[in-house]
Structure 1
């Protein structure tokens, strides 16, 4: 069809030239591009377009590799957050059991000491067998012996009760010591897991950083090549690539809402430009969940601890998850917690990222070690993660 169209165009061009020369022979140019020139130009344009398409595909693959490395990093970091939280809970349990064990042991020791004192008192007041005096006479001496015997019986019963208390407390102390020992073994295992997870997260971060740096360098080369082919500048090309991801986003930073939510967002915005560090919770470095956690702490709200998964699970446990349309900011309110996971499903066990919606289609986040705290349009889907169609909402 293209060949037929080209032939028709050539015939029309030839006809026009003949008619044009007949009407105004002296107006025709001395020379003009031939049809072959037109075909060559079209072929050159097609070749350039092919090169552009190849480079664009390479650029997309490069971006995908970098994003996949960042996804691995995010999963490793959240695995560490979960392990660290389990370690903290185990450490607290060991401490509580040890405290209870010490209290039980102290009770047992005190009871034994008291019982020993009573037994010693019994021996001192006995001085032999007082019951013999009952059968050898009567009168005041007999009455005194009976009173002494009653006192001794009372002391005996009391000391027996105290000894039972001591025995119970000692058994409790032994049981608590055993539980503490088991808990300590588990704590050590969790500590090893947390250390391994931390090392894995750091290694994943280093790998991602090296890969992203290499890919960004390759991307800059491709931007320059694209610019040469399209006769644009590399800066414009890079700006265009970034602009596509942010198309239709609201311009500027939305105004702060009033009240407590406004205070939360204002605090988060004061952290703009600060570095990302795994486990960071201010005041100079942050990670994603550290930023949201401390921002809400400014108004006395606990959103579930330091970890994207923990914050999501806490919001679910208190009934503060709100369903929203998939791939949309419709229904989001300023202050809402925005969650991401590998598949973007609420059922995903690990939530890889958390950010805060600030209105106008934008969110504030501490993204990763290569990017500082920033405000960006809400992302719905990329190679790193997908938006979970639920937000955590704190009603003030």
Structure 2
């Protein structure tokens, strides 16, 4: 078995040490299952009912647990996405190595064919010269057989060759030298291709393992949130579905830049006392607008107190027109087709390395969405899509983002950092994404942490 080269070892080391690198940056990988933090027990919940202070404490414990669970999953999610992008880069390198190898093989075969033809021409000319008066040369041709190199050497020692013979011999020697050189280059290209194959396979194995871990943790996260939403509903008197929508919305809250051990990934809303359940007309919360925690109702005014006269409302200020968008002008037809395609995949599962038709990863979704509009945006890689936009002057400040623009995420949020995620901006602070293992294609509020401060406008 061929031993992996230095690039293979480097790639495996990178992916294997990825989670450790995240830990060094303050994102330590959880060492216990996500189901371990469970918030208050059912006994605690039952005892807290009817006691405002105890209820507030129990609610706070639930929200702290959700924050911890979300922070732990975010670590695995980021590690899995970064490992997946590393594999996409290795796949692109493999494709390039295969193209180079095939081109080198074709050039080598053509050179060998030319060398064979010119060698045969030189041999035929030597035979004619031999029949014209050099029996020794004829005997040499019979003895040498098909060994063209030996024949060329013998011909090179002859002093009676004509000018035409010199030209034929020089061309034959040149073609043989070119063929030898291209054969060496083809061998080097094959070695590089073998290294690229080994690297892609090694990185794939590490990335697939990271994706599997993230997917398992996502399943445990869902089960835990189901349980916590029922407990929260018991404390607040609201429906479990409404509480679950609220807890889901907390996933998109921004975590602090460097949470310490045991600290939540985002500030928890203030706990409050229970309140009556919502009326049937109360709408469910959307991910972009988390449901506020219920609070103790304010006391009604005394019947004997005169009702205060409301002050006249000042006229509503005239809203300022939004600033004109800058950057390249998008092509509406392409943007509409890309967004429509992405929306059609809502609810379909995330699968590492997939680009449809029924499962997706982030760059696979964006690539195929724009392909539906007839536009190639750089291939199946977050970095490749960003680099293509950068090379064509299609990057725009996030403050000027328009529907259809691509939003990128990198570790630390730097444009020069390791990019690991890409989404499509829908406008109004919303984006559509194939998020991570265990999470289906969805529309969510734009996350700000790790977001690169520029977007790409592929159709500009």
TM range (shorter): 0.7 to 0.9
- The 1:258/1:82 distance shift into structure 2, 3 A limit, reads closer
2: CA distance, partners of 1:267 / 1:233: 34
In the alignment, is the contact (CA less than 8 A) between 1:112 and 1:166 conserved in 2?
A: yes
1: CA distance, partners of 2:160 / 2:345: 73
Q: What SS does structure 2 have at the residue aligned with 1:338?
A: strand
Q: Max radius of gyration: which structure? A: 1
2: CA distance, partners of 1:61 / 1:248: 21
Measured on the aligned residues, the alpha-carbon RMSD in Å equals 2.7
Deviation at 1:257, TM superposition (A): 8.2
Structure 1: segments with no counterpart, 5+ residues = 1-40, 129-152, 250-255, 325-329
In the alignment, what sits opposite 2:451? 387
In the alignment, what sits opposite 2:420? 352
In the alignment, is the contact (CA less than 8 A) between 1:355 and 1:364 conserved in 2?
A: yes
Correspondence 1:175 to 2:181: yes
Structure 2: segments with no counterpart, 5+ residues = 1-47, 136-158, 253-286, 291-329
Give 1:247's match in structure 2, choosing from 276, 288, 296. Answer: 288
Deviation at 1:160, TM superposition (A): 2.0
Correspondence 1:275 to 2:275: no
1: CA distance, partners of 2:75 / 2:171: 63
- The 1:275/1:163 distance shift into structure 2, 3 A limit, reads farther
In the alignment, is the contact (CA less than 8 A) between 1:290 and 1:307 conserved in 2?
A: yes
In the alignment, what sits opposite 2:235? 229
Give 2:381's match in structure 1, choosing from 307, 332, 343. Answer: 307
What TM-score, normalized by structure 1, do the two folds share?
A: 0.73
Instruction: Note the alpha carbon deviations across 1:254-278, whole angstroms, 9 max, x for none.
Output: xx98422222222333333333222
- The 10-residue stretch of structure 1 (260-269 or 78-87) with the greater mean CA deviation from structure 2: 260-269
- The 1:263/1:48 distance shift into structure 2, 3 A limit, reads closer
Q: What SS does structure 1 have at the residue aligned with 2:437?
A: coil
1: CA distance, partners of 2:201 / 2:347: 29
Deviation at 1:113, TM superposition (A): 0.6
Deviation at 1:103, TM superposition (A): 1.0
Instruction: Note the alpha carbon deviations across 1:36-89, whole angstroms, 9 max, x for none.
Output: xxxxx9x93222212221221112101111221111111111111011111111
Deviation at 1:353, TM superposition (A): 0.8
Q: What SS does structure 2 have at the residue aligned with 1:65?
A: helix
Q: What SS does structure 1 have at the residue aligned with 2:51?
A: helix
Q: What SS does structure 1 have at the residue aligned with 2:419?
A: coil
Q: What SS does structure 2 have at the residue aligned with 1:276?
A: coil
In the alignment, what sits opposite 1:142? none
2: CA distance, partners of 1:76 / 1:303: 21
1: CA distance, partners of 2:431 / 2:331: 14
In the alignment, what sits opposite 1:186? 192
Determine which structure has the larger helix proportion and give its number: 1
In the alignment, is the contact (CA less than 8 A) between 1:118 and 1:155 conserved in 2?
A: no
In the alignment, what sits opposite 1:7? none
1: CA distance, partners of 2:387 / 2:64: 39
Show structure 1 runs of 4+ deviating over 6 A.
none
Correspondence 1:336 to 2:405: yes
In the alignment, is the contact (CA less than 8 A) between 2:121 and 2:168 conserved in 1?
A: yes
Q: What SS does structure 2 have at the residue aligned with 1:297?
A: helix
Instruction: Note the alpha carbon deviations across 1:152-175, whole angstroms, 9 max, x for none.
Output: x99732232122222222222222
What TM-score, normalized by structure 2, do the two folds share?
A: 0.63
Give 2:363's match in structure 1, choosing from 282, 285, 289. Answer: 289
In the alignment, what sits opposite 2:54? 47
1: CA distance, partners of 2:342 / 2:385: 17
Give 1:263's match in structure 2, choosing from 319, 337, 351. Answer: 337
2: CA distance, partners of 1:231 / 1:265: 39
